[in-house]
Amino acid sequence: MQIEHIDEARRQIEICNACRYCEGYCSVFPAINRERAFAEGDVTQLANLCHNCRGCYYACQYTPPHEFALNLPRALAEVRQDSWQAHAAPAALARAFHRSGVTVAAATVIGFGLLLWAAKAIGSAGGEGFYAVLSHNAMVAIFAPAFLLPLVAVAIGLRRYWRAIGAGPLRLRDLGAALGRAARLRDLSGGHGDGCNFEDEDRFSNARRWYHQLVLWGFLACFAATSVATIMHYVLGLPAPYPLLSLPKLLGVTGGVALSVGTAGLAWLKTRADRSLGDARVWGGEMGFVMLLFLVSTSGLALYALGSSAWLPELLALHLGAVLAFFLLTPYTKMVHGFYRLAALVAEAGRSG
Ligand code: SF4
Ligand code: SF4
pLDDT in tens, the chain (353 residues): 689 999 999 999 999 999 999 988 888 999 999 988 999 999 999 999 999 989 899 999 999 999 999 999 999 999 999 999 999 888 777 777 766 666 666 666 676 667 666 665 655 555 666 666 667 777 777 778 888 999 999 999 999 999 999 998 889 999 999 988 887 777 777 667 677 777 777 678 888 889 999 999 999 999 899 889 888 888 888 877 778 888 988 999 999 999 999 999 999 999 998 999 999 888 888 888 898 899 999 998 998 888 777 777 778 888 888 888 888 888 888 889 999 999 999 999 988 77
Please report the DSSP string for 300-353 in residue order.
HHHHHHHTTSTTHHHHHHHHHHHHHHHHHHGGGSTTHHHHHHHHHHHHHHHHH-
Q: 253 alpha carbon to ligand 2 midpoint, in Å? A: 34
- Decide: 252 and 302 in contact? Cβ < 8 Å: no
Q: 267 alpha carbon to ligand 1 midpoint, in Å? A: 28
Q: 47 alpha carbon to ligand 1 midpoint, in Å? A: 15
pTM across the whole model? 0.86
Phi (first) and psi of residue 343, to 5 degrees: -60, -40
User: What are the respective helix, strand and coil percentages of the chain, to the nearest 5?
Assistant: 75, 0, 25
Quote the CA–CA distance of 114 and 310 in Å, as a whole number: 20
- 56 Cβ closer than 6 Å to some ligand 1 atom: yes
Query: At CA 270, angle to CA 266 and CA 274, rounded to 5?
Result: 150
Given its phi and psi angles, is residue 193 left (phi above 0), alpha (psi -120 to 50 degrees) or beta? left
List pocket residues of ligand 2, CB cut-off 6 Å: 22, 25-26, 28, 50-56, 72-73, 76
- Decide: 185 and 216 in contact? Cβ < 8 Å: yes
- 16 Cβ closer than 6 Å to some ligand 1 atom: yes
Q: Which of 43, 63, 76, 206 for a ligand 2 pocket mutation test, highest count of atoms within 8 Å of Cβ?
A: 76
- 75 Cβ closer than 6 Å to some ligand 1 atom: no
- The closest alpha carbon to 44, from 153, 166, 144, belongs to 166
CA 39 to chain centre: 27
With the C-alpha atoms ordered 120, 121, 126, 129, is the resulting torsion angle positive or negative?
negative
Quote the CA–CA distance of 342 and 144 in Å, as a whole number: 25
